[in-house]
Amino acid sequence: MGPTDFAKHISDFISKYLPNENGASLNTITAYRDTFVLLLSFIEKHRKVKLEKLTLDYITKETIVAFLDWIQSERKCSNSTRNLRLAAIHSFYRYLQYQHLDNLYECQRILSIRSKKTAKDSIKYLSVEGIRLLLQQPDTTTRKGRRNLALLALMYDTGARVQEIIDLTPSMLRLDKPATIKIIGKGNKARLVPMLDAQTVHLKNYLKEYELDSPSAKLYPLFSNSKKEKLTRAGINYIIQKYVGMARKENKLMIPLKITCHSFRHTKAMHLLQAGVNLVYIRDILGHVSVQTTEIYARADSKQKRIALEKAYEDVNPGEKAVWLNNENLISWLKRF
């Protein structure tokens, strides 16, 4: 018995379409693969269908909805996780509708499944004083402490995603003036981020100490563990939480409760915005496709809004007093109005 149509199309989607035509990152491909592993597991265990006999005709809108309900009820997934799984499935069926016209109707039914609404958390970011306190925590008398300071400072200075930091190599740095760093972002898109001299001090010292400034080390991981392997997300998060805990002991008001790897990116974006940097430049530094994504920082920055409102009030109404203040009291003024 040969492979089914489902096996062929899902194989082509994961191994050919996503990396070659779509330009998806390894993280995206892995997340999509994991979604379909879960879906196949659900079909095999709960729908009693042998995978070697599974065809496209079997997977209907009702099957997908049942799967999404299952991951929420049995696996306790949140709405946002459910939406991520659904996004992966939608991506496959958008691809499939051009590959398998006989299945077009069911593709469109599955694509009609809606995402669930999720509560949007407020953006967690550090003040300038907060990030300064956090960067004071690594013990720079130790080799590992100096590495961690270089890592955290670079995460803040570049506003890079954690995977982008993990994938850096010394060859992507240009530290002679004008200093720049090449970052490979989502969809394998590269961007050059300028760096000021003050930002490169820890990095230059780190490269020299760890012998990463030699030609033979150009393609080594920029930040590695004791086994000379790339740091992982969990490894970087462990480092961050260590220093977040130390900083909170010094001043818990400066350090929000939930600080993650992504908080460094949010922090850089907010500080650039507060310094008056144009949203277009912030978009390019962060590697957003659209400035609309970057605008979320402008909407979230209540400090900037308050300052803008205060300036507008001072400019438009200098020294103006409410009319009723010249009367005996507000109630009598309202009665006469």
Catalytic residue numbers read: 161, 186, 262, 265, 288, 297
DSSP symbol at 89: H
Contacts of 210 (CB under 8 A, 6+ apart): 147
3-state secondary structure (DSSP) of residue 184: strand
Whether the upstream peptide bond of residue 19 has omega within 30° of 0, thus cis, is no
Task: Give the sign of the dihedral formed by CA 221, CA 224, CA 226, CA 231.
Answer: negative
Question: Chain centroid to CA 178: how far?
Answer: 28
**8 A C-beta contact, residue 269 and residue 294:** yes
For 189, the token pair is 């898109």
β-strand pairing of 173-174 with 190-194: unpaired
129 Cβ contact list (under 8 Å, min separation 6): 254
Residues 6+ apart with CB under 8 A from 115: 82, 83, 86, 87
Torsions phi, psi of 307, nearest 5? -60, -45
Query: Cβ neighbours of residue 84 under 8 Å, at least 6 residues apart?
Result: 31, 35
Residue 190 three-state SS: strand
User: CA geometry: angle at 204 spanning 198 and 208, to 5°?
Assistant: 160
